[in-house]
């Protein structure tokens, strides 16, 4: 990937990701994953309510790394 395409890619914000993650407490699990462009896992989180909350809890600690990977262009 060239530096030009990296510079033009949208940057994800950790604070906004945590706000979207908090939506899981309102029944909107997976919004933070959609925000990072992880559509498949976002749908999985929505359908399973964040793996019954366990996935949401794991994401609480994994979000900073996931944002860093997303901003670098590397996905899981």
**What is the tally of structural domains in the chain?**
1
Residue 22 lies in a domain: yes
Q: In this predicted structure, what is the pLDDT of residue 5? A: 52
Residue 52: φ, ψ to 5°: 55, 35
Low-confidence stretches of the chain (pLDDT < 50) are none
Per-residue pLDDT tens digits for 23-39: 999 999 999 999 999 99
Residue 39 lies in a domain: yes
Q: In this predicted structure, what is the pLDDT of residue 8? A: 63
Residue 75 lies in a domain: no
Q: In this predicted structure, what is the pLDDT of residue 16? A: 96
Residue 43 lies in a domain: yes
Q: What one-character DSSP code corresponds to residue 28? A: -
Residue 76 lies in a domain: no
- Output 29-35 pairs: Cβ under 8 A, ≥24 positions apart: 29/55, 29/56, 32/59, 32/63, 33/59
Q: In this predicted structure, what is the pLDDT of residue 73? A: 80
Q: In this predicted structure, what is the pLDDT of residue 22? A: 95
């Amino acid at each position: 990937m060239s530096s030009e395409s990296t510079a033009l890619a949208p940057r994800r914000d950790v604070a906004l990701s945590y706000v979207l993650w908090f939506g899981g407490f309102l029944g909107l699990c997976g919004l933070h994953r959609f925000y990072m462009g992880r559509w498949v896992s976002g749908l999985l989180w929505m359908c399973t309510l964040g793996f019954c909350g366990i996935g949401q809890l794991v994401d609480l600690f994994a979000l900073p790394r996931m944002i860093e990977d997303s901003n670098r262009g590397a996905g899981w």
